[in-house]
Amino acid sequence: MSSSGRTGRRPGNPEVTKQAILDAARTAFGELGYERATIRVIARRAGVDPALVHHYFGTKQTLFASAHELPFNPAELIARIATAKPENLGKEIARLYLTVVGAPDSPVLSLIRAAATNEAAARMMREFIEDLLLRSAANWIDAANARLRLTLVGSHMIGVVFARSIVGIPTLVALDVGTLIEAIGPTIDRYLMDPALDNL
């Protein structure tokens, strides 16, 4: 796709170029799914060189996060979790999920809503999550069934965010986040570390 038809786009204006990349990324992820929307495809649609996409946005994961205005960088989030003290791990993950990833004003809620009703959005979400699990998160769990363990954690947290911020179950809405973190933390620890899950 050539950029010749774009009006108001001046080569060399970084902000305009960045925005064109983000727009191309958002539509490509939505139309093609996360896997098939390669950096090369997104660059072509934005009329720029793939190297420029990497230069501005790093990996495909961070480009995805930027394109959907996610309030976190997946790589940084995982790094923060990986460096948490073992005794705080479950609570730290619950805290990040409830106050950052799925906070009541987080764009992640829009992605969850879209995935619930639209197969293209569901596909985009599952491919992004699988990529996240495969490439980064699974590396910091030193236990068998790392991917299953992380999927159980993620499923639980999506459910809490869904029940609390989308359906609005009063019992959960009324509860302060600190108490919720206390309640959920040990479950996350169990999913990540309990040897009983090694042999499933």
Comparing CB distances to its own copies, the nearer of 107 and 159 is 159
Angle between helices 60-67 and 74-82 (to 10 degrees): 110
Comparing CB distances to its own copies, the nearer of 139 and 179 is 179
143 CB-near residues (< 8 Å, 6+ apart): 149, 192, 193, 195, 197, 198
150 to 189, contacts with its own copies by CB under 8 A? Answer: 151-152, 154-160, 162-164, 166-172, 175, 179, 182-184, 186-187
Comparing CB distances to its own copies, the nearer of 82 and 134 is 134
Comparing CB distances to its own copies, the nearer of 36 and 147 is 147
88 to 147, contacts with its own copies by CB under 8 A? Answer: 112-113, 115-117, 122-123, 125-126, 129-130, 133, 147
Question: How many Å apart are CA 73 and CA 59, to the nearest integer?
Answer: 11
3-state secondary structure of 39: helix
SS3 letters across 140-170: HCCCCCHHHHHHHHHHHHHHHHHHHHHHCCH
Structure tokens at 116: 């619930």
Residues forming the site for its own copies (CB under 8 A): 112-113, 115-117, 122-123, 125-126, 129-130, 133, 147-148, 151-152, 154-160, 162-164, 166-172, 175, 179, 182-184, 186-187, 190-191, 194, 196-197, 200
